[in-house]
Structure 1
Amino acid sequence: MSRRAPNRQLSTLLAEVGWSAGDLARAVNSLGKAVGLTLSYDRTSVAHWLSGSRPQAPVPDLAARALSRRSGRVVAPEDTGLPQPPHGHAARRPDPLDESDPLRRLTSLCRQDTDPARRPSLTASAYTLTALTLSDWAHRPKSTAPDSGQRAASSSSSDVRILREMTEVFAALGSAHGGGHARSALAAYLTDDAERMLIAPATSAIHSQLCTAAAQLTHLLAVMTEDTGYAGLAQRYYRTALDLAHQADDRATYAVTLRAMSLQALRLGHPPQAHTLAETALDTLSPTADGATRSFLLAQRALTFAAVRQPRRAREDLRAADQQHERASSPPGPFTSYPRAGLDYHTARTFNALGEPGHALTSLSQAARHRAPAQGKAWALTHARLAEARVNLGQLEAACDHWHTFLDHYPSLRSTQVDEALTRLRQNAGAFPRQARAVSLLHRARTLERQSRHCG
């Protein structure tokens, strides 16, 4: 064995957690036994690691898990100094998506996302169709709940409640102001507070609930990231949310995340993949799922049926979504309820895709009646869509009224969807250069856009 430098990373970690070499050896052996390995490391083995030797996989991973549980924070294998060095002339920085453990992957992504120096390479991540290839639900990874006897401070139902409350907070912020507001704050929250709760020892039941809450927060981060214009990074967060939902054995959260991925694929111009994801979401959902969730998924599959030119199936799903919505009895919440306005809005999008602008206008009008100005982004986008529907039907005056309502809220929103709606406004209003109201509207839109760029 070639001579190596002492492993100061591992030495520092042991000092941090107050462990001896024998303590780490026993913890690694115990974790190995839990996954079916017979290991017999002792303090001498760890002394060799400290002097620079590197054990074979999966020992670095087991050591990282043990140190994570002891320290109350995520420790990556690379942090221990134990993995074998990369081959080749240039050492590549590990890709967070290569990490199989979803919590460690989430922590790695969020840490890089909250670091101004490292964020640009992450936000430039490419959206790929290969990342839409998913393993069957039956092959989900085992949940790895920390041993509740390893540390004095354990996670409890109060931690679950806190994560659920934070889910409502960030969902409300995104709905009111768009994904560009508070996105970095959510990434930081997941890196700090949420990470500690998930690492701490807990019963299997509590750990599963914590994983569900983390999956939902990660889903929200993906939505906000997508709405900020970072499609590839959003895809990475969506995939991580799926794996956390897998660990929690939470089919509903998994299916809802697949639905979001389907919508993203459709926005990016991939109807067949969007349809497959929508189908998989419904196939994954439990037969006993509440009507609200089933309606939510059916509405998206209807939109994808329209996109892949199956109008009869699209209409069937719209009827089924409406019926399921009538049967909904779940409590309010970002992952438990489906507002009527949301269903009407999605129905309008499907009618537009089917080439039925009259029906789309009716559904959008119903959505507007159920919206409130405080909903910010949703309120603005509903009126933007109403304006587009009315101008397509030759109702320019009414369209301008809706566009002015949209512009009333534009300055407080940071959202690529809102920016795209503004672009469509300019295109539509620009088609009427002799109409005073259209000219006035266009002038206001350009002024607000310049002010927004200056403030940004």
Structure 2
Amino acid sequence: MTNRRGPNYELRALLTEAGWTQEALARAVNALGAEIGAILRYDRTAVAHWLSGTQPRHPVPQLTAEALTRRIGRPVTPEAAGFPGCARDTTPADPVAGLTALCRTDTDATRRTLLHQRPYRVADAVVTGAPAHAVPGRPLGGRTEVTAALHDAIGFFAASIDTHGGRHARSALSAYLADDVMPLLTSAQPQRLRREVLVLAARLAFLLARMYEDGLLHGVAQRYYTCAHRLADESGDRTTWSVVVRAMSAQAQRLGHLPSALQLADAAHRGARTAPPAQQAYVQAQLAVVLGRTGDRRGALAAMGRAERAAERAGSASAPFDCYPAAALHFQTSAVLESLGDLHGALAALRRAAGERAASDVRGRALSQARFGQLLLRTGHLDEACAAWESFLTARERLRSGDAERAMRDMRQALQPYRNRRPAAELLARTVHGR
């Protein structure tokens, strides 16, 4: 920590406006730390020091400002919270310049740490309408001789997430964007080719966002998602735009920001009305999950029905962005049914998901088994739950995935009341010793 002159009256006034105690602010900052993969243990005494004029180290001023922003409902900067001298986080208005700047920061070892400590910002989880200037003729993003290398990169990194987890090859993708893709966008190109490259760059940025989200670095993941939907908007590709915005909705939902998640899911739904069936299924499934979480049973079931009908119309394509695997749809169906209180239906959907998972989808299989264990335990089937978690732990050993690590922590917490039962004790011992 560093000292500043005089008490922090700005922070005290914001605490009063928020109706928060010092302890409440400390808890909120700790929770935000978890969103960027940081374990923080601040308490009211730390906040008392901040109020007396001590300035905490980065990224605590940014986390404090975001916590107050969420509580009060209006933007609060670190400076407004009485923490001067914090670097401003600005994004160029031009989408290509924005992604270029982001990738340069991400590939610079001296600046990467600050980027990775950026908090998720609820105020940024907003999009305008889908591209109004949709491009006529054949769909954008198709494979051509000029764009073949970009398609190969998309296939490689998408498969890497499924097989190895989001923490694998992340720096390779950011370097590829910076060194190979950005020069294509900044060089003189025919308009049609530039739009093709914009779409493919958006898809690569989307994959990097997924990697960071799976690594539980939600702030930088949000930055890449934002770049991806802005690039898709610039290209005029409503389908890619809707796919990205759908993923942004899922991120907001998992962090507990349901109003943002619903707004984004609805925007994706409206943007995907003319999309191919596979992408419509992908978008509708997320809308169903959010509606279920918000208590809209009729809306959730209607959206799930649309997702299922769209999936039935989809072809047999297997390339990333052109398909929506049946296992993923069953997983979302399970989430919808669970939110509506139908645990047996949720279990049945998860069983279908497990049966449909491709062998190469190690991450999806692991997370399905982890969720399967949770639902089985909730329905009173301890032995079956432990068997599912055994499969999860076996798959987890092959992954570099923050989501898998979080699922293991959730498993340990769920099993604590049963630690004297043999199957639970064996699983807990296995995780303690890393076997």
Q: Same fold (TM over 0.5)?
A: yes
- Give, in angstroms, the shift of residue 308 of structure 1: 1.0
Correspondence for 1:249 = 236
Alignment correspondent of 1:216: 203
Deviations 1:113-159 (A, max 9, x none): 121211111111121121123233357799xxxxxxxxxxxxx9433
* Deviates most, 337-346 or 398-407: 398-407
Q: CA deviation at 1:426?
A: 0.4
1:398 corresponds to which letter in structure 2? E
What is the match of residue 333 of structure 2? 347
Equivalent residue for 1:331, pick from 307, 310, 317: 317
Question: Per the alignment, do residues 184 and 267 of structure 1 end up closer, same or farther by CA in structure 2, a change over 3 Å counting?
Answer: same
Match of 1:174 among 148, 157, 161: 161
Q: Comparing both chains, which one has the higher relative contact order based on Cα–Cα distances under 8 Å and sequence gaps of 6 or more?
A: 2
Partner residue in 1 for 2:395: 409
The amino acid of 2:101's aligned partner reads S
The structural deviation recorded for 1:335 is 0.6
Deviation at 1:331, TM superposition (A): 2.3
Cα 1:137–1:372 shift into 2, 3 Å: closer
RMSD: 2.1
Deviation at 1:213, TM superposition (A): 0.3
Residue 382 of structure 1 pairs with residue 382 of structure 2: no
Structure 2, unmatched stretches of 5+, are: 1-83, 136-142
Counterpart position of 2:5: none
Distance across 2 between alignment mates of 1:91 and 1:408 = 47
Point out the more displaced range, 200-209 or 265-274: 200-209
Residue in 2 aligned with 1:200? 187
Do the aligned residues in 1 keep the contact of 2:131 with 2:234 (CA within 8 Å)?
A: no
Which residue is equivalent to 2:299?
313
Contact 1:292 1:330 in 2 (8 A): no
The C-alpha deviation readout for 1:403-449, integer Å capped at 9, x for no partner, is 1111112122122211111011101222212211110111012222x
Shift of 1:378: 0.5
Q: Are positions 1:120 and 2:113 aligned together?
A: yes
Alignment: residue pair count: 345
Alpha-carbon distance, 1:240 to partner: 0.6
1:293 Cα offset (Å): 0.8
The match for 2:94 among 101, 119, 132 is: 101
Q: How far, CA to CA, are the matches of 1:305 and 1:323 in structure 2?
A: 18
> For residues 226 and 114 of structure 1, do their structure 2 counterparts lie closer, same or farther at Cα, with a shift above 3 Å needed?
same
Cα pair distance change 1:93/1:270, threshold 3 Å: closer
Q: 1:140 to 1:267 in 2, by over 3 A?
A: farther
Using the alignment, how far apart are the partners of 2:249 and 2:213 within structure 1?
13
> Which stretch of the first structure deviates more once superposed, 271-280 or 422-431?
422-431
Q: 2:347 aligns with which of 350, 357, 361?
A: 361
Does the residue aligned with 2:146 lie in a helix, a strand or coil? Answer: helix
What is the distance in 1 between the residues matched to 2:309 and 2:366?
A: 27
Q: Share of identical aligned residues, percent?
A: 35
Tell me, yes or no, if the aligned pair for 1:157 and 1:206 is still in contact at 8 Å: no
> Retained in 1: the 8 A contact 2:373–2:385?
yes
* Of 218-227 and 126-135, the range deviating more from structure 2: 126-135
**Taking structure 1 as reference, are residues 131 and 170 closer, same or farther at Cα in structure 2, changes over 3 Å only?**
same
**Distance (Å, rounded) in 2 between the aligned partners of 1:272 and 1:335:** 26
Which segment is superposed worse, 249-258 or 396-405?
396-405
Q: Given the two structures, how large is their TM-score scaled by the length of structure 2? A: 0.76
One-letter amino acid of the structure 2 residue matched with residue 101 of structure 1: D
TM-score (norm 1): 0.72
1:297 alignment counterpart: 283
Q: Give 5+ residue unaligned stretches, structure 1.
A: 1-89, 143-155, 452-456
> Is the CA contact 1:330–1:336 (under 8 Å) kept in the aligned structure 2?
no
How big is the shift at 1:198? 2.0
